Amino acid sequence: MEELSALSGTSSPEDSSLFGTLGTGAVALLTISAAAPLGATVAVGPVAVIFGNGAGLPGAFLLTGLFLFCFAVGYSALAAEIPGNGAFYRYITVVFGHRVGMGTACVSLASYLMMTAALATLTGYFVDLSAQSFGIHIGAQAWIIMSMIAVAAFGIRNIDVAAKVVVPLIICEFGALSILIIAIVAHKGINSFPVEAVSPSTVFSPGFGISVMFALSAFVGVESAALYSAEAKNPKTAIPRATIIAVGLVGLFYFITFWAFIGDIGIDHVAAIAQKGLTDVNIQQSLFLDSFGKNLGPIAEKIISLMIATSSFAAFLSLHNAATRYVFTLGDARILPRRFGVASAKAGSPATASIAVSVFVAVVTLALIISRVDYVTAFAPTIALGTTGIIVLQGIVAFATVFYFRRRKDPRIFTTFILPLIGFIGICSAFFLTLSNYDVLSGSSSTIINSMPLVFILIFAYGCITGRGRSEKNAS
C-alpha cells in the first residue's frame, strides 16, 4: 500500500532500526505503567467521589472500562492488520491518508509531551512528600531534577532496561491494591461490595458525567502498546494481546478497588464525606490513603505513600518513552529532522529522540521552578489538556477501525465492527462529558485555561498543511 511505504521514509533499515526482546507481558505492563494505576487510584478516586456520582463511582469505572475494552479489541485488530511503528499516526495515515495522519501525529506528540512534562513535576512533588515522611528535606525542586536525570538516563538505553525497572514497580502496585482489597474484605465481609454501588439509580445519579471523565483520564496511556512494536519479540501477536491485557487488567482492578473502597467508607457515609470534601483539600488528598491506614496500619500507609512516588516515576518514564517513539517515528518519516529517526547502533534505542524529549521536559519544568509556579496547580491543567488530546485520538482511531474493516468487508463482524463501534460511541460520549466538565478536570476557573483544548484544532490543521506539503514534495 502507498501509505505504508510513505511512512518508512527513505532511510535504510541499518540506520533507523530499533530492537528489543519485549514479550507480551512486558509490553502490557509497560503500557499499564503509563496509566499509573496506584497513583491514579489514590489521586482520582477521592476527587471523583467528591465531585462525581459519589457511591456510584465503581459503576462509572466499570462502564468506562467496558467501552475502552471494546475499543481495545478493534484497535488490536487494526494493529495486527497494519504492523509497524507509529501507533495512532501510522493507522490514521493508512486509513485516511498522509495529511490527516500528519495532523494526528502532531496532536499525538503534543499530547504525550504535555503529559510527560506534567508527570515530571508531579513525580518530584510526590517523592518530596514521601521523603519528608522519612525525615528527608531537600525540596521538590531537587527531586524533579533528579527524576528528570534518571528518566533521561533510562530513555537513551534499550527498552529492555526500562522494562526491568518498570515491570516490578507495576507488579508491586497491583500487589498493594490487592492487599488493600483483601484487608477490606477481612474487616467488612460481604459489605465490602455493596450492591447499591453498582445499581443504575446510584451509578447514573448526578455527577455521573464527571466520574466518567475522571475514569477515562485514569485509563490514558493504555493504548500505547503499539509504540513498542519494533522492540517486541513477536509484534504481530504481542502488541494486540498486550493492548487487550492492559485495558482489561487495569479496568478490572479499578472496578474492584473502587467498589471495595466505597464499601470501606460505607454506602451511607459517602454523601456526607463528599460534602465535606468539597471545601476540604485534605479530604481530597488523603481519603484513599486513609483507607490503607485504617485497614493495614500506619506503616502500610507510609509504604503506600512511597509507592505512589514510584508509581509516578514509572508513569513519567513510560510517557517519556511514548513521546520519544513518536519523535523517532516522525524523524524516520522525515516529518521531523532526520537525526531524530536514527537509532543508537549500540543500544538499539531512539537515543537522539529521547534526548530531544528530555530537553523539552527540562525546559518546561525548569521554567516552572524559576517562575515559582505551584507544581500541583500547574499539573492539573497540563495533564487535562494532554488527556483531552489522547481521548480525541482514541475516538478517531475507533472510527478508523470501523471504516477500515468495513471498506474491506472483513467477515469478523463482532470484533471489527460491533465492538469498535460501541467503543467509538462510548469514547465520543465521554469526550463531550469531558468538554462539559473541563473546568473540574483542569482544576481551574480560568476561561483561558479551559479554552485550551481548542489549540488541538490549530495543531491538527498545522499538521494537515505540513502533511500536504510533504505529500506534494514526495509526489514530485
Residue-wise pLDDT for 342-399, tens only, equals 888 777 788 899 999 999 999 988 887 777 777 667 777 888 888 899 999 999 999 9
Q: Which residue has the higher pLDDT, 386 or 280?
A: 386
Answer whether residue 124 shows pLDDT above 70. Answer: yes
Q: How confident is the model at residue 467 (pLDDT cuts 50, 70, 90)?
A: low
Q: How confident is the model at residue 89 (pLDDT cuts 50, 70, 90)?
A: confident
At which residue does the C-alpha cell 528530555 appear?
Answer: 358
- DSSP code, position 93: H
Please check whether residue 95 is in contact with residue 422, taking contact to mean a CB–CB distance below 8 angstroms. Answer: no
When mean pLDDT is compared across 71-85, 91-105, 210-224, 282-296, the lowest value belongs to: 282-296
When mean pLDDT is compared across 17-31, 60-74, 146-160, 189-203, the lowest value belongs to: 17-31
The rounded percent of the chain whose pLDDT value lies above 90 is 29
pLDDT given at position 436: 86
Query: pLDDT tens digits for 317-342?
Result: 999 998 998 898 888 877 788 888 88
pLDDT given at position 148: 93
pLDDT given at position 52: 86
The pTM assigned to this predicted structure is 0.87
Answer whether residue 21 shows pLDDT above 50. Answer: yes
Q: How confident is the model at residue 430 (pLDDT cuts 50, 70, 90)?
A: confident
Q: Pseudo-torsion of CA 303, 31, 215, 198, nearest 10°?
A: -80
Q: Pseudo-torsion of CA 389, 123, 44, 28, nearest 10°?
A: 70
* Residues in CB range of 9: below 8 A, 6 or more apart: 16, 332, 333, 334, 338, 341
DSSP symbols for 186-229: HHHGGGGS-GGGGSHHHHTSTTHHHHHHHHHHHHTTTTGGGGGG
Query: pLDDT tens digits for 247-260?
Result: 999 999 999 999 99
Instruction: State the Cα–Cα distance between residues 445 and 454, nearest whole angstrom.
Output: 16
pLDDT given at position 475: 42
Q: Give the chain's domain count.
A: 1
pLDDT given at position 4: 45
Instruction: State the Cα–Cα distance between residues 152 and 167, nearest whole angstrom.
Output: 18
When mean pLDDT is compared across 10-19, 229-238, 279-288, 301-310, the lowest value belongs to: 10-19
How far the first Cα of the chain sits from its last, in Å, is 19
The CATH number of residue 55's host domain is: 1.20.1740.10
The mean pLDDT of 87-114, rounded to a whole number, is 89
Answer whether residue 63 shows pLDDT above 60. Answer: yes
Q: Where in the sequence is the domain holding 29, given as residue range(s)?
A: 2-471
Residue at 476 is within a domain: no
**Helices 375-407 + 419-436 axis angle, to 10:** 150
Q: How confident is the model at residue 195 (pLDDT cuts 50, 70, 90)?
A: very high
Instruction: State the Cα–Cα distance between residues 428 and 397, nearest whole angstrom.
Output: 11
Q: Pseudo-torsion of CA 154, 155, 158, 162, nearest 10°?
A: 50
Mean pLDDT (the chain) is 85
Q: Determine phi and psi for 196, rounding to 5 degrees.
A: -60, -30
pLDDT given at position 422: 95
Answer whether residue 62 shows pLDDT above 90. Answer: yes
Please check whether residue 35 is in contact with residue 219, taking contact to mean a CB–CB distance below 8 angstroms. Answer: yes
Residue at 287 is within a domain: yes
Answer whether residue 433 shows pLDDT above 70. Answer: yes
232 DSSP β-pair partners = 22
pLDDT given at position 3: 45
